[in-house]
Amino acid sequence: MNDPLLAPPIRLTQFSHGGGCGCKIAPSVLRDILSDTPFASHLAAAYPDLLVGIEHGDDAAVYKLNDTQAIVATTDFFMPIVDDPYEFGRIAATNALSDVYAMGGQPLFALAIVGMPIGKLPNEVIRQILAGGEAVCKQAGIPIAGGHSIDAPEPIYGLVGIGVVDPRRVKQNSGGVVGDHLILGKPLGVGIYSAALKKGLLSADQYAAMIAATTQLNTPGADLAAIDGVHAMTDITGFGLLGHLLEITRASNVAAQVDLAHLPLLPGVAELAQNGHITGASERNWASYGHEARLPGIADWQRALLTDPQTSGGLLVSCTSESRDAVLDAFHRHGFAQATEIGRLQAGNDVTIVA
């Protein structure tokens, strides 16, 4: 594999206009596109065993098979966020499986989604991307059982993730309750790191931290779903912490307060943000939902920490005071040392960030 801090023979990121979960369509644009989707309000009545559909923008669909089993189905793919093909494959696969974990499920198998500029990327580079995805699936204990490939102008890789969950333990973004504690599993700053990486300003240690964070499978999901008092769960990806927290508050009809000082950050992220290493997706995120947030006394660079698109980000859990310690213990057992409480849910209809 290539040294990430030297110019490799093939720079994957030069083939794409965006990278990682920063490729997502802006939240406001997506809401507009889906606003007239005719089947959104009729799915529950037409398909009573469809436990989770598109109503609240949850991480995956869930379909009940019987009283103890439901299928979790999701798909996720994007363009390269790093130049190393093997690491790109690992990051994309980890990110895709995260949605299964976020619903409280366990992955069963995956299908590969592959779009590559054939003739521009050597076959060996493409093989390395696929090998990275296979390595993550092996770590998750599942096979890549098939997939689909096309000749595309930009490199695209991801997975369809299929999992299983007990219907009684499905976790959505709509279950938050006033008074709940908010626990975040991974540090923030992947988008800021990616912006610095493109400019050659990311240190070797920071690059290693980026890879470690984005390839850490969100395996605590099933254990968290089994804890009494866990009301809601989602993972933090392209819409940033603030965007995905707003999905919880909207769907749960609550408000939230987050303590900026308690946010876990990747090493050096605050300094990089202060120096202007912000992605375009971060600005699009703020333009989409900034009117729903109150940030008194928050500087622009601090705001960027909240809207920064996270590729393969952490789980965000809403839980009771009584279950708070059990939630943190579950994270720590799975190796998420920086999991921490970042705020509370409260009555109202917005998100307030306090410095």
- Beta strand 50-52 pairing with 61-64: antiparallel
| 137 has catalytic annotation | no
From the candidates 21, 23, 137, 319, which is the catalytic residue? Answer: 21
Q: Are 309 and 21 in contact (CB under 8 A)?
A: yes
**Side-chain-facing half-sphere of 257: CA atoms under 13 Å:** 10
Cα torsion at 204, 206, 210, 212 (round to 10°)? 70
What tokens appear for 87 in the block? 């690491």
328 C-beta neighbours (distance < 10 Å), count: 19
Work out the angle at residue 253's Cα, subtended by the Cα atoms of residues 69 and 188, and round it to the nearest 5 degrees.
75
17 C-beta neighbours (distance < 10 Å), count: 10
Residues 32, 240, 72, 176: is their CA dihedral positive or negative? negative
Q: Which amino acid is at 168?
A: R
What 8-state DSSP symbol labels residue 48?
Answer: T
Q: Which amino acid is at 183?
A: I
What tokens appear for 228 in the block? 């009494």
**Euclidean distance between CA atoms 3 and 124, whole angstroms:** 17
> What are the residue numbers of the active site?
21
